[in-house]
Amino acid sequence: MFHVGGARSALYNWAVARQSGGKFVLRIEDTDAARNKPEWIDGIISALASIGISEADPAFEGPFFQSHNADRHREAALRLHREGRAYYCDCTREQLQERTGSQQLGYDGFCRERGLEQAEGRALRFRTPDEGATTVVDLIRGEPSFPNSAIEDFVVARGDGSPVFLLANVVDDIDEGITEVIRGEEHLSNTPKQQLLWEALGATPPVWAHLPVIVNEKRQKLSKRRDKVALEDYLSEGYLPGAMVNYLMLLGWGPGDDVEIRPYEELERMFRVEDVNTSPAFFDVKKLTAFNGEYIRAMPPEEFAEACRPWLREPYATWRPEAYDESVFAKLAPLAQTRLSVLGEITRYVDWAFLDEAPEDEASWAKAMKPGAGAILKDTRERCVTADWDADSLKAVLEEVAAAHGLKLGKAQAPVRVAVTGRTVGLPLFESLEILGRERVLARLDAASAKLGE
């Protein structure tokens, strides 16, 4: 699963790398074997490619694997100890709680001056400076400062000698020449610790940029437990990659004008990370859907028809495979393109054309088949038997039926639409009748009349 927040961070990093002629570095942090599988790595690379971040681009470097750099991580941990920047500690959680009388306080520095040597079960802790503060240069948040007295002596290597992620991450960044780190604000609290490690290892810390958290409509941080957050899920429903990229780029940043629909190349040129807001960014699915509709309507007709094809096959299609007619869909596609917001909606817009009978939708039936609907269906059928079979002629038929029953056209055509297509909302009715053909239209009008008992 590739979180939409991760996708936004990747796009911002990608834009900055390409603007500056730099490199976008993909590192797979795979030191936890239980949480890393080859197919998941392939999924990350595939998700990045879907939003235009491609291995084929000269700006792309990687993937690098954190596990391949384990020796360097251990070497850095030993160096910190050798240079007096870290010390070994054998305190247990229970001992710490007994000394401090609290479960909330950080480490109390008990082992700082004990001079313990490396041994199984002894963690290595970084010796945080007692005085002063650690100031972080953040392109979005200015220069937040963290008192060193509030930063505990944190663990950099476990009791078995394996470095923790915090140290591994810094060592990898140094080795890979990272100069800018653009990431979510949830990482801001770790930044002073990382910066202290950069400095302790004799390297110049990168410039940081911590992006605003993304929230749902209840202003809660997006969570995979309650929200749809996977980029792949949106794409599988028929959100276009271009629309997703456009929308994600504007989550927390804007180009400063009222134009929102823009190709990525233009957004990339305009993007400035220092202009990103600090306030939470609302992931508005309705707005994303509206963006997607704009992108769908802008597609060349042939490209739109091709993009719909995955939803015209199983498991999405509700009709028998042999009932699908390519020539019929070619006529329906231009009508559908102006109405779809998501490609996955195509099935319910066209299924009636490939089913033996009209789809059943109880809500649509109840709404359209009011008293008098049977008479409208009967009158329409009689006139359709001899009418010329084109959209304009069929519209004239329904106008005559409406006038005969003292109704507006919209009221008269509602029961006909439901009888033929199964739903109250769909493609233009008269073009739909023309495409379905006289014989099948008459049969569906008869079936609806029979269902009404008339």
What CATH code is assigned to 362-452? Answer: 1.10.10.350
pLDDT for 33: 61
pLDDT for 35: 65
| Residue 224 is among the residues annotated as catalytic for this protein | yes
The verdict on whether omega for the bond into residue 63 sits within 30 degrees of 0, i.e. cis, is yes
Classify residue 396 as left (phi > 0), alpha (psi -120 to 50) or beta.
alpha
Burial of 128 (0-12, 13-18, 19+ CB in 10 A): buried
Sequence letter at residue 329: F
Within 13 Å, how many C-alpha atoms sit on residue 205's CB side?
18
Q: What's the pTM value of the predicted model, to 2 decimals?
A: 0.90
From the candidates 37, 221, 224, 287, give the one annotated as an active-site residue.
224
**DSSP class of 208:** E
| 308 marked ligand binding residue | no
- Beta bridge partners of residue 182, listed in sequence order: 209
Q: How far is CA 120 from CA 17, 19, 33, 381, 431, in A?
A: 43, 48, 22, 88, 78
Sequence letter at residue 419: A
pLDDT for 40: 79
pLDDT for 103: 63
| 384 marked ligand binding residue | no
By the 8 A CB rule, do 194 and 207 touch?
no
By the 8 A CB rule, do 223 and 229 touch?
yes
pLDDT for 128: 96
pLDDT for 34: 63
- The domain locations on the chain are 301-351, 362-452
Q: How far is CA 190 from CA 186, 187, 329, in A?
A: 8, 6, 55
By the 8 A CB rule, do 77 and 157 touch?
yes
| 37 marked ligand binding residue | no
pLDDT for 189: 92
Distance, in Å, from the CA atom of 18 to the CA atom of 37, rounded to the nearest integer, reads 30
Per run of 10 residues, the mean pLDDT along the chain (length 454 residues) is: 95 97 93 70 92 95 93 97 96 85 76 93 96 95 94 95 94 96 95 97 97 95 91 96 98 92 95 96 97 98 95 90 94 97 96 96 96 96 97 98 96 97 97 97 97 86
